[in-house]
Structure 1
């Protein structure tokens, strides 16, 4: 039996109904045509007729903008969603910390090397200055993770992205200055003061050009902020929390490794007994910080089976916030040891250690707590 079209009432030789709807006069075809999904190609063709408009399409992770014919291209590339931009910012901060830990470790270990005594007195004092700058750089680079945990409670916000950018820039400035001083120190010992000054100035200028000059030349075309009111998904919060643990760990591993090596050198044996105690205390504090930072990953595997959970998010955030305190205390303890070995002045060493400890506590705890209190 030939089926009858339910829309137009005519008998059409089809059992699926597709041929009836393919007839130009079929009401169901007209309804389907006017009220159904329009493919992206059709949308592009329609918008193509308006030269001043742009064709946009959105995916799960980014929005791409393409100009229509005759239109002005105001944006190059992609405007990435806020969650992904925060994750990228944290990864970039981690990359900066990986580079910083090398110089930080060199400055800590240099005072325990046999050739350190051959440096000029001026170069030895520059080691103190370079070390202080590197501590400030580490403080600025770790600070965004602390603000994300304390202020934003793991939520992705445009304020956090701006703060991460600003703190990373300040951290790079301190790193740049410390690198220039380190280059002067090593070149001055071998080739003299003129070569050392030239090497330090050239390295600082070259670093500044690549880190800041290029950004100034390119401009801020890719830094449009789009504040999103949607809450950050739990899986994204956990991923960002684990990334922040990986951000802080490089500072721990550099310090812990060089602290262990320093205790096996002859220069360490010549330190006063109180400096040895301070160094041992700093070693224990950094080891505690390392244990706390590695705990979230272990818990995620063993207790939660890799599944997302609000309980795990709260525990992991608590471990990260708690780990930064012994890390700051351990760094300040080693600053005291290095300053004491170079200057032989207890008062100056204590002042430098306390000042840098307060700077780290201000960046990691006091300022984020103040921001959170004012927001509430």
Structure 2
């Protein structure tokens, strides 16, 4: 591809940057996003790890204990997926594969967000079941999950659809 063709293609994308510059920019943006999610999942996971050592844990019903175990496993998986991009970057750094590394890190981050959603859902279900034992708990959880889906996925997809072609 000639420099003129490359320049025209870059302008069509809205930025005048090489593939490597674009990968560097996208990596920086991704790492900033991951930092926010990592902090949240690490705090939540740390809290979950302490629950089993509380005296009230022994009093939980078998269903609540099962929800707790599932929640901890989901939290561990979310933590792994959201820390994965850091490990990926470290292991492939200097091998001239940054565009591919950014793509893989982005996928790991998306999986991590889905696992974080599942962890938060299970945590909320557990906490509300223990706190109230009322029949409206599942409805509250569904309402919060719908809110998460709206904020995390629907609004961004609408923005992408509306402004993505510009």
TM-score range, shorter-chain basis?
0.7 to 0.9
In our comparison, the structure showing a higher alpha carbon Rg is 1
| 1:212-361 correspondence to structure 2 within 5 Å | 212-219=153-160
Give the counterpart of 2:23 among 82, 86, 89: 82
Residue 98 of structure 1: CA displacement? Answer: 0.5
Q: Does 1:113 align with 2:54?
A: yes
Residue 168 of structure 1: CA displacement? Answer: 0.9
> Following the alignment from structure 1 to structure 2, what is the Cα–Cα distance between the partners of residues 114 and 195?
26
Residue 114 of structure 1: CA displacement? Answer: 2.1
- 1:182/1:200 contact within 8 Å kept: no
> Following the alignment from structure 1 to structure 2, what is the Cα–Cα distance between the partners of residues 123 and 205?
22
Alignment RMSD = 2.7
Q: 1:106 to 1:196 in 2, by over 3 A?
A: farther
> What residue in structure 2 maps to residue 201 of structure 1?
142
1:42-64 Cα shifts (integer Å, max 9, x gaps)? xxxxxxxxxxx9xx6xxxxx937
> Following the alignment from structure 1 to structure 2, what is the Cα–Cα distance between the partners of residues 154 and 109?
40
Aligned length, in residue pairs = 150
Q: Does 1:126 align with 2:67?
A: yes
> Following the alignment from structure 1 to structure 2, what is the Cα–Cα distance between the partners of residues 154 and 147?
12
Residue 167 of structure 1: CA displacement? Answer: 1.0
Q: Secondary structure in 1 aligned to 2:26?
A: helix
Q: Secondary structure in 1 aligned to 2:135?
A: helix
> Following the alignment from structure 2 to structure 1, what is the Cα–Cα distance between the partners of residues 44 and 37?
12
Q: 1:222 to 1:90 in 2, by over 3 A?
A: farther
- 2:88/2:105 contact within 8 Å kept: no
Q: Secondary structure in 2 aligned to 1:81?
A: helix
Residue 116 of structure 1: CA displacement? Answer: 2.1
- 2:121/2:141 contact within 8 Å kept: yes
> Following the alignment from structure 1 to structure 2, what is the Cα–Cα distance between the partners of residues 107 and 167?
22
Relative contact order, higher structure (CA 8 A, sep 6+): 2
Residue 154 of structure 1: CA displacement? Answer: 6.9
User: Structure 2: any 5+ residue segments left out of the alignment?
Assistant: 1-7
1:91-131 Cα shifts (integer Å, max 9, x gaps)? 21111100111210121111111222332210111111011
Q: 1:141 to 1:222 in 2, by over 3 A?
A: farther
User: Structure 1: any 5+ residue segments left out of the alignment?
Assistant: 1-52, 57-61, 65-79, 224-376
Give the counterpart of 1:138 among 64, 79, 84: 79
> What residue in structure 1 maps to residue 5 of structure 2?
none
> Following the alignment from structure 2 to structure 1, what is the Cα–Cα distance between the partners of residues 75 and 95?
27
